[in-house]
């Protein structure tokens, strides 16, 4: 069954897009727009390989992502060794999809090449700062998302894995990441076993601002979102986080879940790791 842009927006946000433009029939590029609106993470894959020509095409798509100042600070490590993939999976037993994915990639921010180019051309390199780090991280994220959208267009499903950063030292050693290179996330890729579902997002009214940022009514809009999302798919009681610390909640919505998730520091050693990896972060 073909789904329209209006239907897919409603599915994505749980709110109607309203009358007008979204209902226009046969908008140019409609199938591609609907595919993006309907995109979803896939964590279960059929036991079926991805042919080599397709993998190469998708990697080429990833490297076609836009890049800050054409500095091209993204690299991709394709984990071909089954032993290495199994090792990474063994660090994260709660995510069996890492070991099961027919293709596993690690996307990295990378300014090794810029540093080498500076040395090659005998130029100073005074940009070892937070801005440069962010540019590399953004390039890597754009490459990962471009890969993902291309893979989804080809019928594949993907799941990013930032949890690999919980084991960043081991990963860096396993993949021999040199100074100037840091992983942003892994990516599982495979033929989806199931249809999956569209995860409801915060509404455009909260995340899109016109001319100036508007934080009015954020709390009420978050609460309304919690309720809409809960009505579509409730987080089961056994998935509540930190029950020992915060108790079991009668109503456990998205904001309760995210507040609990971020009530503990996440990867506090990351800056020290980056420094060891050669980033001054000035
Ligand atoms: C940078 C990034 C890191 C992620 N890391 C993980 C991860 O470690 N494990 C996992 O199962 N999913 C991971 N995800 C998937 C998210 O949980 C998923 O995108 C989110 O729940 C929204 O669902 P959707 O992509 O289906 O819309 C990650 C997603 C992104 C963008």
Q: Work out which ligand 1 atom sits closest to the CA atom of 41.
A: 26
Strands (E), the chain: 74-78, 103-110, 157-161, 181-190
Nearest C-alpha neighbor of 77 from the set 42, 104, 112: 104
Residue 187 has pLDDT above 90, yes or no: yes
Is it the case that residue 280 has pLDDT exceeding 50? yes
Q: Say if ligand 1 is within 6 A of residue 185 CB.
A: yes
Q: What is the distance between the alpha carbons of residues 165 and 162, in angstroms, rounded to a whole number?
A: 6
Q: What is the pLDDT of residue 140?
A: 98
CATH topology of domain 52-195: NADH Oxidase (3.40.109)
Tell whether the model's pLDDT for residue 114 goes beyond 50: yes
Ligand 1 center from residue 114 Cα (angstroms): 30
Report the share of the chain in percent with pLDDT over 90: 91
Judge whether 129 and 281 are in contact, CB under 8 Å: yes
Predicted confidence (pLDDT) at residue 62 exceeds the cutoff of 50 = yes
pLDDT given at position 1: 61
Rg of the chain over all Cα atoms, to the nearest angstrom: 21
* HSE, side-chain direction, 13 A CA sphere, residue 45: 25
Which residues in the chain are classed under CATH 3.40.109.10?
Answer: 52-195
Question: Mean pLDDT for the chain?
Answer: 95
CA distances from residue 84 to 77, 88, 99, 106, 237 in whole angstroms, order as listed: 12, 6, 10, 12, 35
Give the residue whose CA is nearest to atom 29 of ligand 1: 160
Task: State the pLDDT at residue 21.
Answer: 47
| Model confidence pLDDT, tens digit, residues 154-185 | 999 999 999 999 999 999 999 999 999 999 99
67 lines ligand 1 (CB under 6 A): no
* Residue 97 CB coordination number (10 Å): 19
**pLDDT tens-digit profile of 97-106?**
999 999 999 9
pLDDT number for residue 23: 57
Confidence of residue 18 (pLDDT cuts 50, 70, 90): low
């Amino acid at each position: 069954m073909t789904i329209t842009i209006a239907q897919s927006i409603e599915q994505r946000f749980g709110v109607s897009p309203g009358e007008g433009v979204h209902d226009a029939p046969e908008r140019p590029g409609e199938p591609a727009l609907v595919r993006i609106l309907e995109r979803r993470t896939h964590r279960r894959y059929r036991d079926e390989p991805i042919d080599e020509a397709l993998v190469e095409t998708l990697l080429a798509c990833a490297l076609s992502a836009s890049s800050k100042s054409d500095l091209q600070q993204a690299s991709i490590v394709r984990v071909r060794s089954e032993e290495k993939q199994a090792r990474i999976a063994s660090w994260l037993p709660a995510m069996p999809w890492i070991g099961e994915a027919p293709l596993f990639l690690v996307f990295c921010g990378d300014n090794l090449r810029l540093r080498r180019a500076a040395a090659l051309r005998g130029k100073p390199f005074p940009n070892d700062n937070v801005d440069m780090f962010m540019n590399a991280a953004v390039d890597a994220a754009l490459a990962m998302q471009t890969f993902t959208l291309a893979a989804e267009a080809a019928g594949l499903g993907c799941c990013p894995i930032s949890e690999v950063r919980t084991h960043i030292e081991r990963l860096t050693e396993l993949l021999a990441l040199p100074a100037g290179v840091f992983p942003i996330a892994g990516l599982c890729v495979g033929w989806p076993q199931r249809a999956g579902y569209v995860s409801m997002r915060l509404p455009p009214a909260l995340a899109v601002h016109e001319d100036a940022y508007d934080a009015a009514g954020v709390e009420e809009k978050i609460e309304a979102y919690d309720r809409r999302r809960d009505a579509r798919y409730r987080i089961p009681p056994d998935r509540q986080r930190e029950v020992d610390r915060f108790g079991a909640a009668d109503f456990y919505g998205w904001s309760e879940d995210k507040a609990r998730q971020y009530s503990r520091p996440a990867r506090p050693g990351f800056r020290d790791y980056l420094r060891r990896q050669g980033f001054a972060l000035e």
